[in-house]
Amino acid sequence: MVEILKSKLSEMTVSRDGLDVVLVKNGQRVCELPWDAALVLARAITIQARRIEEWVKAERVSLDQAFILRQGLPFGLTSNPMIIQEAYKEAAHNTELRKRIPHVDEGIRSREALGTPSLIKHRPKKEAGDGLQQKK
């Protein structure tokens, strides 16, 4: 199977034969899978390809994530802890990034906090009469 993938993709075609998915190389059937197995295999290949893409583009993802952190937006582009850690460093120390934020004349001052603000909820204060029994 590895030899199949090493060849040029232009030499390979994917087609169907009844309820099966067929991989053809140079006119010869190389692999034949039931449709449901082909879907599982395609999903697994896609997941691994996206993980590799994330590592290949890690620097760009890190800078984009740093920009998102500086804006205080509540979402991220990656779940990779190493890339997130690098993004926090960039967001905190990259002065060029601060200057590129739109609608800010002088950029963001270096002492401003970065990240998404969080809400802290406190229990409501009890009134003087709560929990006390009245004497008769």
Q: What is the pLDDT of residues 48-59, one digit of tens each?
A: 999 999 999 999
Q: CA-CA distances (angstroms) from residue 115 to 8, 48, 61, 73, 76?
A: 45, 30, 16, 7, 11
The helix/strand count (H/E) of the chain reads as 5, 3
Q: Are residues 46 and 34 in the same domain?
A: yes
| Count of structural domains, the chain | 2
Q: Are residues 48 and 62 in the same domain?
A: no
For the entire predicted model, the pTM comes to 0.55
Q: Are residues 24 and 73 in the same domain?
A: no
Q: For residue 93, give its domain range.
A: 57-112
Q: Are residues 33 and 78 in the same domain?
A: no
pLDDT tens, position by position, 13-33:
999 999 999 999 888 999 999
